[in-house]
Amino acid sequence: MAAALRGCAPGTAHLIATGALTNVAALMSAEPGLAAHLGGLCLMGGALGGGFTDAPLAGTNDVHDGHVGPSRSGNITMHAEFNILVDPEAASQIFSNAVLAAKTTVVPLDLSHQVLATDQVRQLLLHGTQADRTGPGKTQLRVMLVELLYFFAKTYADVFDITAGPPLHDPIAVAAALIGTPDEIQFSEWDASKSQPPPHQERFRVSIITDGTFEEAMRGDKQTGKMVATEVPAGQQGVRIPRSLDVADFWRVIEECIERADAANSALSK
Protein backbone atom coordinates (compact mmCIF):
# COMPACT_ATOMS: atom_id res chain seq x y z
CA MET A 1 0.00 0.00 0.00
CA ALA A 2 2.86 2.37 0.83
CA ALA A 3 4.54 1.68 -2.51
CA ALA A 4 1.29 2.27 -4.38
CA LEU A 5 0.74 5.63 -2.68
CA ARG A 6 4.32 6.72 -3.22
CA GLY A 7 3.83 5.99 -6.91
CA CYS A 8 0.93 8.46 -7.12
CA ALA A 9 1.34 12.18 -7.49
CA PRO A 10 0.46 14.23 -4.39
CA GLY A 11 -3.26 14.74 -3.89
CA THR A 12 -4.35 12.15 -6.47
CA ALA A 13 -4.73 8.75 -4.79
CA HIS A 14 -7.95 7.56 -3.19
CA LEU A 15 -7.72 5.02 -0.38
CA ILE A 16 -10.87 3.05 0.42
CA ALA A 17 -11.20 1.25 3.76
CA THR A 18 -14.12 -1.14 4.27
CA GLY A 19 -12.99 -2.83 7.49
CA ALA A 20 -11.08 -1.94 10.61
CA LEU A 21 -8.69 0.97 10.14
CA THR A 22 -5.72 -0.86 11.66
CA ASN A 23 -3.60 -1.01 8.52
CA VAL A 24 -4.39 2.56 7.44
CA ALA A 25 -3.48 3.94 10.86
CA ALA A 26 -0.29 1.87 10.99
CA LEU A 27 0.72 3.07 7.54
CA MET A 28 0.15 6.73 8.33
CA SER A 29 1.97 6.37 11.63
CA ALA A 30 4.99 4.79 9.95
CA GLU A 31 5.01 7.13 6.94
CA PRO A 32 3.03 10.29 7.76
CA GLY A 33 4.20 11.98 4.59
CA LEU A 34 2.04 9.64 2.53
CA ALA A 35 -1.05 11.56 3.65
CA ALA A 36 -0.03 14.25 1.16
CA HIS A 37 -0.39 11.75 -1.69
CA LEU A 38 -4.05 11.17 -0.87
CA GLY A 39 -6.80 12.96 -2.71
CA GLY A 40 -9.30 11.23 -0.47
CA LEU A 41 -9.80 8.56 2.19
CA CYS A 42 -13.23 6.91 2.00
CA LEU A 43 -14.21 4.57 4.80
CA MET A 44 -17.23 2.51 5.67
CA GLY A 45 -17.69 2.48 9.40
CA GLY A 46 -19.33 4.01 12.40
CA ALA A 47 -22.85 5.05 13.25
CA LEU A 48 -24.19 8.33 14.60
CA GLY A 49 -27.87 7.87 15.39
CA GLY A 50 -29.68 10.72 17.07
CA GLY A 51 -31.71 11.44 13.94
CA PHE A 52 -28.70 12.21 11.75
CA THR A 53 -30.76 10.56 9.00
CA ASP A 54 -34.07 8.72 8.94
CA ALA A 55 -32.44 5.39 8.12
CA PRO A 56 -33.47 2.54 10.44
CA LEU A 57 -30.64 1.62 12.80
CA ALA A 58 -32.34 -0.61 15.36
CA GLY A 59 -35.13 -3.14 15.24
CA THR A 60 -37.42 -4.45 17.92
CA ASN A 61 -35.67 -7.83 17.73
CA ASP A 62 -32.18 -6.37 18.17
CA VAL A 63 -30.98 -7.73 21.50
CA HIS A 64 -27.18 -8.09 21.11
CA ASP A 65 -26.57 -6.47 24.51
CA GLY A 66 -30.04 -6.22 25.95
CA HIS A 67 -30.88 -2.86 24.36
CA VAL A 68 -33.59 -2.42 21.78
CA GLY A 69 -35.38 0.35 19.98
CA PRO A 70 -34.49 3.80 18.68
CA SER A 71 -31.86 4.60 21.34
CA ARG A 72 -29.52 2.12 19.69
CA SER A 73 -27.26 3.26 16.84
CA GLY A 74 -24.57 0.58 16.51
CA ASN A 75 -24.81 -2.83 14.90
CA ILE A 76 -22.45 -4.78 17.15
CA THR A 77 -23.23 -2.98 20.41
CA MET A 78 -25.74 -0.34 21.36
CA HIS A 79 -23.24 2.39 20.52
CA ALA A 80 -20.69 1.00 18.09
CA GLU A 81 -20.46 -0.21 14.52
CA PHE A 82 -18.28 -3.29 14.03
CA ASN A 83 -15.46 -1.82 11.89
CA ILE A 84 -14.81 0.91 14.46
CA LEU A 85 -15.22 -1.23 17.57
CA VAL A 86 -12.61 -3.82 16.59
CA ASP A 87 -9.89 -1.12 16.57
CA PRO A 88 -11.20 2.15 18.00
CA GLU A 89 -7.67 3.45 18.61
CA ALA A 90 -6.87 3.19 14.90
CA ALA A 91 -10.04 5.07 13.99
CA SER A 92 -9.28 7.72 16.60
CA GLN A 93 -5.80 8.16 15.16
CA ILE A 94 -7.21 8.78 11.69
CA PHE A 95 -9.78 11.33 12.82
CA SER A 96 -7.33 13.19 15.07
CA ASN A 97 -4.96 13.72 12.13
CA ALA A 98 -6.00 17.09 10.71
CA VAL A 99 -4.50 16.38 7.29
CA LEU A 100 -6.29 13.04 6.97
CA ALA A 101 -9.55 14.24 8.49
CA ALA A 102 -9.88 16.98 5.88
CA LYS A 103 -9.61 14.33 3.15
CA THR A 104 -11.88 11.74 4.77
CA THR A 105 -15.41 10.75 3.79
CA VAL A 106 -17.28 8.50 6.22
CA VAL A 107 -20.08 6.15 5.18
CA PRO A 108 -21.81 5.34 8.48
CA LEU A 109 -24.76 3.02 8.98
CA ASP A 110 -26.94 6.15 8.93
CA LEU A 111 -26.12 6.40 5.22
CA SER A 112 -25.68 2.78 4.16
CA HIS A 113 -29.02 1.74 5.69
CA GLN A 114 -30.69 3.96 3.08
CA VAL A 115 -29.36 1.81 0.22
CA LEU A 116 -31.54 -1.29 0.33
CA ALA A 117 -31.42 -4.20 -2.09
CA THR A 118 -35.18 -4.41 -2.55
CA ASP A 119 -36.91 -7.12 -4.57
CA GLN A 120 -36.89 -4.78 -7.58
CA VAL A 121 -33.15 -4.20 -7.20
CA ARG A 122 -32.45 -7.90 -6.83
CA GLN A 123 -34.37 -8.63 -10.01
CA LEU A 124 -32.33 -5.99 -11.83
CA LEU A 125 -29.07 -7.48 -10.60
CA LEU A 126 -30.21 -11.02 -11.41
CA HIS A 127 -31.44 -10.41 -14.96
CA GLY A 128 -29.92 -7.08 -15.94
CA THR A 129 -31.90 -4.65 -18.07
CA GLN A 130 -33.20 -7.35 -20.42
CA ALA A 131 -36.97 -7.55 -20.77
CA ASP A 132 -37.13 -11.31 -20.13
CA ARG A 133 -36.77 -11.83 -16.40
CA THR A 134 -37.66 -15.50 -16.29
CA GLY A 135 -35.22 -18.27 -15.51
CA PRO A 136 -32.54 -18.61 -12.83
CA GLY A 137 -30.51 -15.55 -13.81
CA LYS A 138 -28.55 -14.01 -16.64
CA THR A 139 -25.12 -15.27 -15.52
CA GLN A 140 -23.57 -17.37 -12.77
CA LEU A 141 -22.00 -14.23 -11.28
CA ARG A 142 -25.39 -12.56 -10.97
CA VAL A 143 -26.95 -15.64 -9.38
CA MET A 144 -24.17 -15.78 -6.79
CA LEU A 145 -24.47 -12.07 -5.94
CA VAL A 146 -28.24 -12.21 -5.53
CA GLU A 147 -28.05 -15.38 -3.42
CA LEU A 148 -25.74 -13.48 -1.06
CA LEU A 149 -28.22 -10.63 -0.90
CA TYR A 150 -31.07 -13.01 -0.07
CA PHE A 151 -28.98 -14.47 2.77
CA PHE A 152 -28.37 -11.03 4.24
CA ALA A 153 -32.01 -10.07 3.67
CA LYS A 154 -33.08 -12.65 6.26
CA THR A 155 -30.43 -11.50 8.72
CA TYR A 156 -31.47 -7.85 8.50
CA ALA A 157 -35.14 -8.73 8.73
CA ASP A 158 -34.59 -10.90 11.81
CA VAL A 159 -32.16 -8.61 13.64
CA PHE A 160 -32.94 -5.06 12.53
CA ASP A 161 -36.54 -5.32 11.27
CA ILE A 162 -35.33 -4.03 7.89
CA THR A 163 -37.70 -6.02 5.69
CA ALA A 164 -37.54 -4.12 2.39
CA GLY A 165 -34.14 -5.64 1.64
CA PRO A 166 -30.61 -5.75 3.04
CA PRO A 167 -28.48 -2.60 2.96
CA LEU A 168 -25.32 -2.50 0.91
CA HIS A 169 -22.39 -0.98 2.80
CA ASP A 170 -18.90 -1.21 1.31
CA PRO A 171 -19.67 -0.24 -2.32
CA ILE A 172 -20.96 3.12 -1.07
CA ALA A 173 -17.46 3.94 0.16
CA VAL A 174 -16.21 3.18 -3.35
CA ALA A 175 -18.93 5.40 -4.82
CA ALA A 176 -17.88 8.22 -2.50
CA ALA A 177 -14.46 8.22 -4.14
CA LEU A 178 -16.18 9.41 -7.33
CA ILE A 179 -17.31 12.68 -5.73
CA GLY A 180 -16.01 15.54 -7.84
CA THR A 181 -15.40 13.41 -10.93
CA PRO A 182 -17.43 13.18 -14.17
CA ASP A 183 -18.77 9.81 -12.93
CA GLU A 184 -19.97 11.25 -9.63
CA ILE A 185 -23.01 9.78 -7.89
CA GLN A 186 -24.81 12.59 -6.12
CA PHE A 187 -24.28 12.65 -2.34
CA SER A 188 -26.10 15.21 -0.21
CA GLU A 189 -23.99 17.00 2.39
CA TRP A 190 -26.87 19.06 3.80
CA ASP A 191 -30.45 18.19 4.76
CA ALA A 192 -33.14 20.87 4.97
CA SER A 193 -34.96 19.05 7.77
CA LYS A 194 -31.90 18.13 9.86
CA SER A 195 -29.04 20.51 9.11
CA GLN A 196 -28.41 24.06 10.24
CA PRO A 197 -29.28 26.74 7.64
CA PRO A 198 -28.25 28.17 5.31
CA PRO A 199 -27.47 25.32 2.88
CA HIS A 200 -23.77 24.48 2.88
CA GLN A 201 -21.38 21.56 2.63
CA GLU A 202 -21.33 20.18 6.15
CA ARG A 203 -18.04 19.11 7.69
CA PHE A 204 -17.52 17.48 11.06
CA ARG A 205 -15.01 16.99 13.83
CA VAL A 206 -15.13 13.27 14.60
CA SER A 207 -13.95 11.55 17.75
CA ILE A 208 -14.06 7.91 18.82
CA ILE A 209 -14.55 6.68 22.38
CA THR A 210 -11.58 4.42 23.12
CA ASP A 211 -12.15 3.90 26.84
CA GLY A 212 -12.91 0.28 27.68
CA THR A 213 -12.24 -3.09 26.13
CA PHE A 214 -14.02 -5.05 23.42
CA GLU A 215 -15.43 -7.37 26.08
CA GLU A 216 -16.71 -4.48 28.20
CA ALA A 217 -18.36 -2.95 25.15
CA MET A 218 -20.03 -6.23 24.22
CA ARG A 219 -21.41 -6.53 27.77
CA GLY A 220 -22.81 -3.02 27.50
CA ASP A 221 -20.58 -1.70 30.29
CA LYS A 222 -18.70 0.77 28.06
CA GLN A 223 -19.38 2.87 24.97
CA THR A 224 -16.11 1.79 23.34
CA GLY A 225 -16.13 2.44 19.60
CA LYS A 226 -18.89 5.04 19.68
CA MET A 227 -18.50 7.68 16.97
CA VAL A 228 -19.22 11.29 17.94
CA ALA A 229 -19.52 13.94 15.23
CA THR A 230 -19.72 17.68 15.85
CA GLU A 231 -20.27 20.03 12.94
CA VAL A 232 -17.55 22.62 12.43
CA PRO A 233 -18.38 26.18 11.29
CA ALA A 234 -19.23 26.48 7.61
CA GLY A 235 -16.14 26.82 5.48
CA GLN A 236 -13.81 25.08 7.92
CA GLN A 237 -12.13 21.80 7.03
CA GLY A 238 -13.34 18.58 8.55
CA VAL A 239 -14.67 15.12 7.85
CA ARG A 240 -17.35 14.72 5.19
CA ILE A 241 -20.33 12.62 6.37
CA PRO A 242 -23.05 12.64 3.69
CA ARG A 243 -26.64 12.49 4.86
CA SER A 244 -28.02 10.82 1.72
CA LEU A 245 -27.24 9.86 -1.87
CA ASP A 246 -28.99 9.23 -5.18
CA VAL A 247 -29.93 5.62 -4.49
CA ALA A 248 -31.40 4.94 -7.94
CA ASP A 249 -28.25 6.19 -9.65
CA PHE A 250 -26.12 4.12 -7.29
CA TRP A 251 -27.89 0.91 -8.31
CA ARG A 252 -27.62 1.93 -11.97
CA VAL A 253 -23.85 2.13 -11.60
CA ILE A 254 -23.75 -1.21 -9.76
CA GLU A 255 -25.66 -2.81 -12.65
CA GLU A 256 -23.23 -1.30 -15.16
CA CYS A 257 -20.31 -2.75 -13.20
CA ILE A 258 -21.87 -6.21 -13.19
CA GLU A 259 -22.55 -5.92 -16.93
CA ARG A 260 -18.86 -5.17 -17.50
CA ALA A 261 -17.87 -8.10 -15.29
CA ASP A 262 -20.18 -10.36 -17.30
CA ALA A 263 -18.51 -9.23 -20.52
CA ALA A 264 -15.03 -9.82 -19.09
CA ASN A 265 -15.97 -13.30 -17.86
CA SER A 266 -17.49 -14.14 -21.24
CA ALA A 267 -14.31 -13.05 -23.02
CA LEU A 268 -12.18 -15.23 -20.74
CA SER A 269 -14.28 -18.30 -21.45
CA LYS A 270 -13.80 -18.07 -25.22
Inter-residue contact 92 to 207 (CB < 8 Å)? yes
> Pairing between strand 204-208 and 227-231?
antiparallel
pLDDT in tens, 136-177: 899 999 999 999 999 999 888 887 889 999 999 999 999 999
Inter-residue contact 44 to 70 (CB < 8 Å)? no
The H or E element containing residue 28 is helix 22-30
Answer whether CATH 1.10.600.10 is correct for domain 2-115+167-245: no
Mapped onto helix, strand or coil, the DSSP state of residue 199 is coil
Distance CA 177, CA 172 (A): 9
Domain ranges of the chain: 2-115+167-245
Distance CA 167, CA 116 (A): 4
Q: Which residues are catalytic?
A: 169
Mapped onto helix, strand or coil, the DSSP state of residue 80 is strand
Give the model's confidence band at 68: pLDDT under 50 very low, under 70 low, under 90 confident, else very high. Answer: very low
Q: What average pLDDT does the segment 39-58 reach?
A: 93
Q: What average pLDDT does the segment 106-124 reach?
A: 96
Give the model's confidence band at 119: pLDDT under 50 very low, under 70 low, under 90 confident, else very high. Answer: very high
Distance CA 14, CA 21 (A): 15
Distance CA 247, CA 214 (A): 34
Q: What average pLDDT does the segment 222-240 reach?
A: 97
Distances (CA, A) of 179 to 105, 157, 168, 237: 10, 31, 18, 17
Which amino acid is located at 160 in the chain? F
E strand segments, 140-263: 187-188, 204-208, 227-231, 244-245
Distance CA 239, CA 237 (A): 7
Give the single-character DSSP code of 37.
G
- The count of other CB atoms within 10 Å of the CB of residue 106 is 28
The mean-pLDDT minimum among 63-67, 106-110, 159-163 falls in 63-67
Give the model's confidence band at 23: pLDDT under 50 very low, under 70 low, under 90 confident, else very high. Answer: very high
pLDDT of amino acid 63: 43
- The count of other CB atoms within 10 Å of the CB of residue 85 is 26
Distance CA 103, CA 261 (A): 30
